[in-house]
């Protein structure tokens, strides 16, 4: 690598999220001649990141759930020091907290070019709880400062989020780019035949209330009471640093009751999806949910809520069904409708795979992002 290779620094709160959502992009940037590093909290994926050739800069003071002002100031100062020492040409900030804190740290550390990647707008914009309402004006004020500047560009994953940011006066439309998610590996997630045994209705996500897990469990209870002969399966672990995390004890109680099965976290997503007849995501709001991209690539019909992000993947009557958010009854109706019609499920699954191939392949997402880097460097 030449000494004058452009330096690209990713800022991501957790190493697992970087590996899951941004490592292919980082590898592509390395191949394109960039020197690449990631600043993140390190837990279990240091070896995988290093093996890919990405430099690992450990953040020790970052916590997603922290609201302690002193700890937050320390986190910003730590990242500013990392930026000042590593001297990136481009800082790619991924998700809400890195965008807010990283934008400030990048300016303090002397970095010029910033890519703000918003994977949805977070619980502050989704929840109606008192804490979210209290934080929302502060987040909006921070957005106006962080997203601004001629040398910054913000990526959104669906048009609704972009429209909201512009409507609220948080960013100028000329500084927005729409790139639909982090893409899906179409070779790893292959379209397979739907199982012929007792069907599995699958919800695979972090176990958070705002992913609609509670509505899924209630819909499973209603569908079973109305004669559905299916297994309703939850896959994923709680996220203890997220305010919407479902207690592990609650998940265990649901599983013990027999209404749903909770399989916990799984690392073999293609295998899990291959076992499913229908994939469900009753989320309250998304950026562009990776699980729906993976389900579409796997040729699975989907049921999701009619909210930003989900409706980018689920076309009603074509690749799946959309239902209102927070409505377990309508979700149960949709489950029963598809369970009663395997032929329609197969047709929807086939069309979902076609959609994934046409719009959501990881190669297209990577190419568009590398093009954005070149645009910034050329300014």
Tens-digit pLDDT profile for residues 120-162 = 775 556 555 665 667 777 777 777 878 877 888 999 999 999 9
Q: What is the pLDDT of residues 19-63, one digit of tens each?
A: 999 999 999 999 999 999 999 999 889 999 999 999 999 999 877
In this predicted structure, what is the pLDDT of residue 263? 98
Tell whether 59 is covered by a domain. yes
Task: Choose among 140, 139, 134, 99: nearest CA to 10.
Answer: 99
**One domain, residues 106 and 230:** no
Task: Choose among 37, 74, 34: nearest CA to 55.
Answer: 37
Domain span at 129 = 7-182+361-377
Cα angle 340-345-346, degrees, rounded to a multiple of 5: 130
- Rounded to whole angstroms, the Cα distance separating 231 from 314 reads 22
What's the pTM value of the predicted model, to 2 decimals? 0.89
Question: Beta-carbon neighbour count of residue 231 at 10 Å?
Answer: 17
Describe the strand order of the beta sheet including 278-281 as a list of residue ranges. 261-262, 231-235, 200-204, 278-281, 302-305, 320-323
129 half-sphere exposure, CB direction, 13 A CA radius: 10
- Rounded to whole angstroms, the Cα distance separating 237 from 265 reads 5
Cβ atoms of 190 and 270 closer than 8 Å: yes
**One domain, residues 270 and 177:** no
Tell whether 18 is covered by a domain. yes
**One domain, residues 223 and 176:** no
**One domain, residues 370 and 329:** no
Number of domain units in the chain? 2
Which residues, in sequence order, are CB contacts of 51 under 8 Å at separation 6+? none
Tell whether 331 is covered by a domain. yes
**One domain, residues 115 and 169:** yes
| Mean pLDDT computed over 96-107 | 86
In this predicted structure, what is the pLDDT of residue 127? 55
In this predicted structure, what is the pLDDT of residue 143? 79
In this predicted structure, what is the pLDDT of residue 61? 83
In this predicted structure, what is the pLDDT of residue 128? 56
**One domain, residues 350 and 281:** yes
In this predicted structure, what is the pLDDT of residue 44? 87
CATH at residue 215? 3.40.50.2000
Task: Choose among 365, 51, 352: nearest CA to 185.
Answer: 365
**One domain, residues 292 and 171:** no
**One domain, residues 18 and 167:** yes
| Mean pLDDT computed over 180-192 | 93
Tell whether 188 is covered by a domain. no
Tell whether 45 is covered by a domain. yes
Tell whether 193 is covered by a domain. no
- Rounded to whole angstroms, the Cα distance separating 53 from 45 reads 13
Helix 96-109 / helix 130-146 crossing angle, nearest 10 deg: 40
Which residues, in sequence order, are CB contacts of 246 under 8 Å at separation 6+? 207, 208, 209, 213, 214, 238
**One domain, residues 131 and 172:** yes
* Helix extents (H) in the chain: 15-21, 23-31, 46-51, 69-86, 96-109, 122-126, 130-146, 159-167, 213-225, 248-257, 269-274, 290-297, 328-339, 342-355, 362-377
**One domain, residues 175 and 216:** no
Tell whether 156 is covered by a domain. yes
Tell whether 1 is covered by a domain. no
């Amino acid at each position: 690598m030449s000494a004058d290779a452009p330096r690209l620094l990713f800022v991501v709160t957790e190493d697992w999220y970087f590996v899951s959502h941004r490592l292919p992009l980082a590898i592509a940037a390395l191949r394109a001649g960039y020197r690449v590093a990631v600043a993140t909290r390190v837990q279990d994926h240091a070896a995988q990141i290093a093996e890919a050739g990405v430099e690992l800069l450990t953040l020790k003071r970052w916590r997603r759930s922290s609201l302690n002002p002193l700890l937050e100031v320390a986190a910003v100062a730590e990242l500013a020091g990392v930026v000042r020492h590593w001297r990136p040409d481009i800082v790619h900030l991924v998700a809400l907290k890195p965008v807010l804190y990283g934008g400030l740290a990048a300016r303090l550390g002397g970095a010029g070019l910033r890519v703000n990647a918003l994977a949805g707008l977070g619980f502050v914009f989704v929840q109606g709880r008192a804490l979210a309402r209290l934080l929302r004006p502060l987040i909006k004020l921070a957005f106006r400062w962080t997203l601004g500047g001629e040398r910054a560009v913000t990526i959104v994953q669906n048009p609704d989020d972009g429209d909201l940011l512009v409507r609220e006066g948080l960013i100028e439309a000329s500084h927005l780019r729409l790139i639909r998610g982090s893409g899906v590996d179409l070779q790893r997630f292959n379209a397979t035949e739907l199982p012929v045994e007792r069907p599995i209705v699958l919800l695979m996500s972090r176990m958070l209330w705002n992913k609609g897990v509670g509505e899924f469990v209630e819909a499973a209870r209603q569908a079973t009471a109305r004669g559905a002969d299916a297994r309703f399966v939850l896959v994923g672990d709680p996220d203890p640093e997220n305010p919407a995390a479902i207690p592990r004890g609650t998940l265990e109680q649901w599983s013990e009751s027999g209404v749903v099965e909770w399989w916990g976290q799984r690392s073999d997503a293609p295998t899990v999806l291959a076992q499913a007849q229908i994939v469900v995501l009753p989320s309250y709001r998304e950026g562009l949910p990776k699980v729906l991209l993976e389900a579409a690539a796997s040729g699975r019909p989907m049921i999701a809520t009619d909210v930003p992000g989900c409706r980018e993947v689920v076309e009603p009557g074509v690749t799946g069904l959309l239902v209102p958010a927070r409505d377990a009854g309508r979700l149960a109706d949709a489950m029963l409708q598809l369970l009663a019609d395997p032929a329609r499920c197969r047709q929807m699954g086939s069309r979902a795979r076609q959609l994934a191939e046409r719009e959501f392949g990881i190669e297209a997402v990577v190419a568009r992002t590398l093009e954005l880097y070149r645009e910034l460097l050329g300014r």
